[in-house]
Each structure stands twice: as C-alpha cells, then as structure tokens.
Amino acid sequence: MSSTYGTLFKISTFGESHGAGIGVIIDGCPAGLTFDTDFIQHDLDRRKPGQSRITTQRREADEFEVLSGVFEGVTQGTPIALVIRNTDQRSKDYGHIAQQFRPSHADYTYQAKYGTRDYRGGGRSSARETAARVAAGAVAKLLLQGQGVHVQAYVSQVGKLKLEKSYADMDLAVAEENAVRCPDPETAEHMFALIDDTRKKGDSIGGVVDCVITGVPAGWGEPVFDKLHAELGKAMLSINAVKGFEYGSGFAGAEQYGSEHNDEFYTDETGRVRTRTNQSGGIQGGISNGETIYFRTAFKPVATIMQDQDSVDSDGNAVIVSGKGRHDPCVVPRAVPIVEAMAALVLADMWLRSRGSKV
C-alpha cells in the first residue's frame, strides 16, 4: 500500500480511524524553518470533527505531538514525525458491518485486494487519515510563506446550490467566518440549511471546493509527466470522496474557440510578462506562468447514510446494511483545509525541485 507522496518534500502517513492514532513523517523539509505550532494546530482545528451540527459529532481534539525533526522551534533538516492520538473511537458502532460491504465504501475493494480489512470506521480508508495530511500541509504552507505563496480554498457548491461569483470578486477570508466555509454569507446560509435538512433526513450530499493560489512565480512544475496541474490533480484525487478535478477554464474551455480561450501576453509597467486573461489557470505546458492558479475539486455525497441499503456480505449473501456511527452529511466544509494542505504539499515539492533546474 502506497502511503507516500512527493519527490523532494515527501510525506508518509500512517494509522487508522479507530487505531491508537494517526500521523505523518515529513522528509525533505529544509533546516532553519521556524516551526509554528500554533499555525499547524489552527489548520488541524479547521479540519477536526464536531465543529457544528452539520459535521460528524465525533469528538477529537486533534492535538499533535512532535516526535522528531524539530529542536528549539526550528526544523533540523531531518525527518519530522508528527502524531495525533485517537481519543473518541466507538468501534462497537461498526460491529454490524464486520462481514458486510457498505455501498460505495472501500470495504469490498480492500477485502478483494488484501484479503482482510479493518472495518472499524473504515480503518485506513477513513477520511480520518487526512488529519495527518493537514498537519504536513501546514508545514508546507510555512515553507511557502517564505516564498510569498498563499493557498486559500473555499466551498463553492453544495448539491445543486452554486456560488455564482468569481474568486476575484470576493474576500475569500470571509469563508472562515461561517460553518460552511463559503465566502458569500448569504449563499453560506442557504448551503447550511441544505446540509442541515439533508442531515435530518438521514442522507448525505456532495459539493465542490475551489482553491486559489497566489504568489507562485513562473517556472514551477516539470514538463511531460510531472506537470504542475497533473500533480495537483493527483493530489486532489487522492482525497477521500473526490470525484472530479478541473483547473483554469476546465470543462467549460471545451465549449470555446481558441480565439476566445487564448491568454494574450503583455509586459506590465515593472517589465514582468503577464497575461490579459487567465483561462490557463496560471499553468501552461505544465509549468506555472506567474498568474493566479485556481482549480475546483468535486466531492461525492458521503457514502454512509442513516438509511437501510441493499448490499451483500463477504460470502455473497444479500443483506440489509443499516447506517450507524457518526458521519458528516456533507464533507466539503471540513474538506477545505484538506484541499489546501494537498495543494501546499505539491507546491512545496515543486519549489524545491525548481531550485535545481537552472544555475
């Protein structure tokens, strides 16, 4: 099982939803970075369960411990090991599905691949694993801050309810002022009501998280197979429940003529090469062009719902699976810091790789 991502800035996550804890080893973080524990904990707090009535009511503090790689508040250039203890497991909630395959979960595929599975909360396939990514992503963000790079994600859609405004027309910081993490307060209220109504029905609903990255200079990314947008897509699609990724004009670009879609170059007053439009989403030829990078990530409805569903057991017998446990009716509010974390990990790796591409 591959639990490692990155080339120079590399992470390996470990742990299960109902095990003793989860964690991450970060390899390749340069020495001398101020290790801001408050900043890292803040990002973990944004992802942790129990934030409001529209998120899972599992109660985890998600406080992290540093086991190695940091001395007197500064990274040492050696592997950084972080661990987050699990404290609120209710494994008995999952005893009924020990031999049953929950619809749209990884139960069957894990059993088919490994011949065994940890059914407690999904084990390794649980979204609880993403807390480790968020911790590592926060370290990557600290590294990127020194390069003037900022990563901001927000919820742009819940079900069929869409935020129609462009990221350029909103104050994205406002997203952190409501439980949905949508930067438009009025739309956020409607989204909250939709998620809450879905929760009361024992159902779940999907949504979309947009991400905007500023400050990336021209030249980050590798041509051909390690294109910057390809790595961002891989990173996003590695997140639980993600079903789609598009950057720049995305699928809408398929409806346009080249004369409409092309981003014309010009030189601004500082002598910097810019583009008049940004259909490319800040990336051309797999390499950043210095403009704002933006992309969208689509999340399916959470697979566990509080309704009976038809399925089969490990012997192939027809069964009725009853939804139990504590789950999000909509994953996107808590997915915002996860999207940011994975984007930051990609960019930190690409920054380190770009430093050796020219003299």
Q: According to the annotation, is 53 in a ligand binding site?
A: yes
Nearest residue to 180 via CA among 163, 203, 166: 163
For residue range 113-162, list pLDDT tens digits in order: 988 888 776 778 888 899 999 999 999 999 999 999 999 999 999 999 99
Provide the percentage of residues in the chain whose pLDDT is more than 70. 93
Q: According to the annotation, is 285 in a ligand binding site?
A: yes
For residue range 20-62, list pLDDT tens digits in order: 899 999 999 999 999 999 999 999 999 987 677 787 666 678 8
Q: According to the annotation, is 302 in a ligand binding site?
A: yes
For residue range 186-225, list pLDDT tens digits in order: 999 999 999 999 999 999 999 999 999 999 999 999 999 9
Helical spans, DSSP H, in the chain: 37-47, 107-114, 130-145, 185-200, 228-237, 258-261, 332-354
Q: According to the annotation, is 304 in a ligand binding site?
A: yes
Q: According to the annotation, is 180 in a ligand binding site?
A: no
Q: What CA–CA distance (Å, rounded) separates 308 from 1?
A: 32
- Segment among 48-57, 177-186, 313-322 with least mean pLDDT: 48-57
Q: According to the annotation, is 17 in a ligand binding site?
A: no
Q: According to the annotation, is 181 in a ligand binding site?
A: no
Tokens representing residue 287 in the block: 């390499």
Q: Report the largest interatomic distance among the alpha carbons of the chain, rounded to a whole angstrom.
A: 71
With a CB cutoff of 8 Å and minimum separation 6, the contacts of 5 are: 11, 235, 238, 345
Q: According to the annotation, is 158 in a ligand binding site?
A: no
User: Hey, CA dihedral for 277, 244, 59, 123, is it positive or negative?
Assistant: negative
Instruction: Report angle CA 247, 251, 256 to the nearest 5 degrees.
Output: 110
Q: What CA–CA distance (Å, rounded) separates 177 from 155?
A: 12
Provide the percentage of residues in the chain whose pLDDT is more than 90. 73
Higher-scoring residue by pLDDT: 285, 309: 285
Q: According to the annotation, is 126 in a ligand binding site?
A: yes
Instruction: Report angle CA 340, 215, 145 to the nearest 5 degrees.
Output: 65
Other Cβ atoms closer than 10 A to 212: 19
Q: According to the annotation, is 241 in a ligand binding site?
A: yes
CB 294 within 8 A of CB 151: no
Q: What is the arithmetic mean of pLDDT over 178-185?
A: 96
pLDDT confidence of residue 110: 87
Q: What CA–CA distance (Å, rounded) separates 15 from 26?
A: 15
For residue range 270-284, list pLDDT tens digits in order: 999 999 999 999 999
When the pLDDT of each residue in the chain is averaged and rounded to a whole number, the result is 91
Res. 177: pLDDT tops 70: yes
Instruction: Report angle CA 289, 292, 298 to the nearest 5 degrees.
Output: 115
- Segment among 50-59, 61-70, 248-257 with least mean pLDDT: 50-59
Q: What is the arithmetic mean of pLDDT over 85-96?
A: 66
Q: What CA–CA distance (Å, rounded) separates 46 from 341?
A: 11
Angle between helices 332-354 and 228-237 (to 10 degrees): 150
With a CB cutoff of 8 Å and minimum separation 6, the contacts of 260 are: none
pLDDT confidence of residue 18: 80
With a CB cutoff of 8 Å and minimum separation 6, the contacts of 96 are: 322, 324
Tokens representing residue 340 in the block: 């940011």
Q: According to the annotation, is 46 in a ligand binding site?
A: no
Residue 204, Ramachandran bin (φ over 0: left; ψ between -120 and 50: alpha; else beta): beta
Q: According to the annotation, is 136 in a ligand binding site?
A: no
Instruction: Tell me the β-bridge partners of 10.
Output: 27
DSSP string across 244-262: EEEETTGGGGGGS-HHHH-
CB neighbour class for 175 (10 Å; exposed up to 12, middle 13-18, buried from 19): buried
Q: According to the annotation, is 329 in a ligand binding site?
A: no
Q: According to the annotation, is 214 in a ligand binding site?
A: no
The reported pTM is: 0.93
Tokens representing residue 69 in the block: 């790689």
